[in-house]
A = this chain, B = another copy of it.
Amino acid sequence: MFQTEYDVIVVGGGHAGSEAAAAAANMGSKTLLVTMNLQNIAQMSCNPAMGGIAKGQIVREIDALGGYSGIVSDTSAIQFKMLNKSKGPAMWSPRVQSDRMRFAEDWRLMLENTPNLDFYQEMVSGLIVENNIVKGVKTSLGLEIKAKSVVLTNGTFLNGLIHIGDKNFGGGRAGEKAATGITEQLVSFGFESGRMKTGTPPRVDGRSLDYSKMIEQPGDENPEKFSYLDITKPLTKQRSCFMSYTSPEVHDLLREGFERSPMFNGRIKSLGPRYCPSIEDKINRFADKDRHQLFIEPEGWNTVEMYINGFSTSLPEDVQFKALSSVAGFKNVKFFRPGYAIEYDYFPPTQLQHTLETKLIEGLYFAGQINGTTGYEEAASQGLMAGINAALKIQEREAFILSRSEAYIGVLIDDLITKGTEEPYRMFTSRAEYRTLLRQDNADFRLTPKAFELGLASEKRLKRMEEKQNKAEAFVMFFADTSVKHEEINPILESKDSALMKQSDKMQKIFSRPNITIDDMRKVASVETYIQENNLDNEVIEQAEIQIKYSGYIEKEKNNADKLNRLENIKIPKNFDYSKLKSMSLEAREKLNKIQPVTISQASRISGVSPSDVSVLLVYMGR
Please tell me if the beta carbons of B175 and A318 are within 8 angstroms of each other in the complex: no
A472, B165: Cα distance in complex, Å: 64
Please tell me if the beta carbons of B174 and A336 are within 8 angstroms of each other in the complex: no
- Taking a contact as CB atoms closer than 8 A, the residue among B1, B120, B167, B176 that contacts A318 in the complex is B1
A337, B139: Cα distance in complex, Å: 12
Interface presence of A245 (CB below 8 A) = no
Residues of B within 8 A of A336 (CB): 38, 119-121
Residues of B within 8 A of A174 (CB): 37, 121
Please tell me if the beta carbons of A121 and B337 are within 8 angstroms of each other in the complex: yes
Residues of B within 8 A of A334 (CB): 118-119
Please tell me if the beta carbons of A317 and B141 are within 8 angstroms of each other in the complex: yes
A interface, over-half SS: mixed
Interface presence of A109 (CB below 8 A) = yes
Interface presence of A605 (CB below 8 A) = no
Please tell me if the beta carbons of B37 and A175 are within 8 angstroms of each other in the complex: yes
Interface presence of A101 (CB below 8 A) = yes
Please tell me if the beta carbons of A317 and B205 are within 8 angstroms of each other in the complex: no
Residues of B within 8 A of A302 (CB): 109, 112
A486, B101: Cα distance in complex, Å: 64
What does the 1/0 interface line of A534-570 toward B look like (CB < 8 Å)?
0000000000000000000000000000000000000
Please tell me if the beta carbons of B112 and A304 are within 8 angstroms of each other in the complex: yes
A167, B101: Cα distance in complex, Å: 33
Interface presence of A78 (CB below 8 A) = no
Please tell me if the beta carbons of B140 and A169 are within 8 angstroms of each other in the complex: yes
Interface presence of A321 (CB below 8 A) = yes
What does the 1/0 interface line of A96-116 toward B look like (CB < 8 Å)?
000001000100110011000
What does the 1/0 interface line of A343-358 toward B look like (CB < 8 Å)?
0000000000000000
A101, B334: Cα distance in complex, Å: 26
A122, B113: Cα distance in complex, Å: 35
Interface presence of A39 (CB below 8 A) = yes
Interface presence of A142 (CB below 8 A) = yes
Please tell me if the beta carbons of B205 and A337 are within 8 angstroms of each other in the complex: no
Please tell me if the beta carbons of A303 and B164 are within 8 angstroms of each other in the complex: no
A1, B165: Cα distance in complex, Å: 14
Please tell me if the beta carbons of B105 and A101 are within 8 angstroms of each other in the complex: yes
Interface presence of A416 (CB below 8 A) = no
Please tell me if the beta carbons of A175 and B39 are within 8 angstroms of each other in the complex: yes
Residues of B within 8 A of A108 (CB): 303
A112, B108: Cα distance in complex, Å: 25
Please tell me if the beta carbons of B120 and A141 are within 8 angstroms of each other in the complex: no
Please tell me if the beta carbons of A321 and B1 are within 8 angstroms of each other in the complex: yes
Interface presence of A143 (CB below 8 A) = yes
A334, B1: Cα distance in complex, Å: 8
Please tell me if the beta carbons of B164 and A317 are within 8 angstroms of each other in the complex: no
- Taking a contact as CB atoms closer than 8 A, the residue among B40, B112, B140, B205 that contacts A303 in the complex is B112
Interface presence of A255 (CB below 8 A) = no
Interface presence of A10 (CB below 8 A) = no
Please tell me if the beta carbons of B118 and A205 are within 8 angstroms of each other in the complex: yes
Residues of B within 8 A of A291 (CB): none
A residues whose Cβ falls under 8 Å from a Cβ of B: 1, 36-40, 101, 105, 108-109, 112-113, 118-122, 140-143, 164-165, 167, 169, 174-177, 203, 205, 302-305, 317-318, 321, 334-338
User: Mind listing 5 A-B residue pairs with CB under 8 Å?
Assistant: A38-B337, A40-B175, A109-B302, A141-B338, A175-B176
